[in-house]
Amino acid sequence: MNWLKKLIVGMTCWAVMLVASASNADGSEHPKLTLIYDSPYGFEETLESLRNTIHAHNFRVFPDRYLEEGLTDEFSVNTHQVSVRFCNFSDLHEALEIEPQVGVVLPCTITVIEREDGKVQLLTGNVQAMLTLFDNPKLTAAFQDLEDKYQAIIDEVTL
């Protein structure tokens, strides 16, 4: 059963990378679905800084989840791959009033990973790529504000 979970995760990752690298019919590139930022700090320091910065930007932080949680037994989970989940309910409400279906793509997660070489990275959804799923100028304006908040959080944690 464990091999099946790994196969599903692998296929999902492959599909996301394929979509992210695909080109439009006119030859232009799709925006990357995931943005990756390098942290100049260690894993624990980056994680703590991220949580504190998210709080400082008026977001509520939910309990962390290990990236592999539920995909492997609790003793095999890589504890250096953590998803920090958060939300600003005012922003969420505004976006849902504009477009109720946007709830399926809200990027309220930043994942912190420590690679085998010790390098720490932050991964987050690309707000601009998510906007391509909707043709709604009001939503574009609301997401611009959200994107600015995300970028401020990432900048504070990684600079």
Domains contained in the chain, CATH given: 31-158 (3.30.310.70)
* CA quadruple 99, 103, 108, 111: dihedral sign: negative
The pLDDT value recorded for residue 82 is 95
- pLDDT one-digit tens code per residue, 11-53: 444 334 444 444 444 455 667 888 999 999 999 999 999 999 9
| pTM, rounded to two decimals | 0.76
Kind of pairing between the strands at 109-114 and 81-87 = antiparallel
124 vs 144, more confident: 124
Q: How many helices (H) and strands (E) does the chain have?
A: 5, 6
Write the single-letter amino acid at 108: C
**Across all residues in the chain, what is the average pLDDT?**
80
Kind of pairing between the strands at 60-61 and 34-39 = unpaired
Cα maximum dimension of the chain: 48
Helix 89-98 and helix 137-158: axis angle, to 10°? 150
The pLDDT value recorded for residue 39 is 97
Percent above pLDDT 70 for the chain:
80
* CA quadruple 87, 89, 91, 97: dihedral sign: positive
Instruction: Report whether pLDDT(67) > 90.
Output: no
Q: Which is nearest to 13 in space by CA: 25, 5, 24, 1?
A: 5
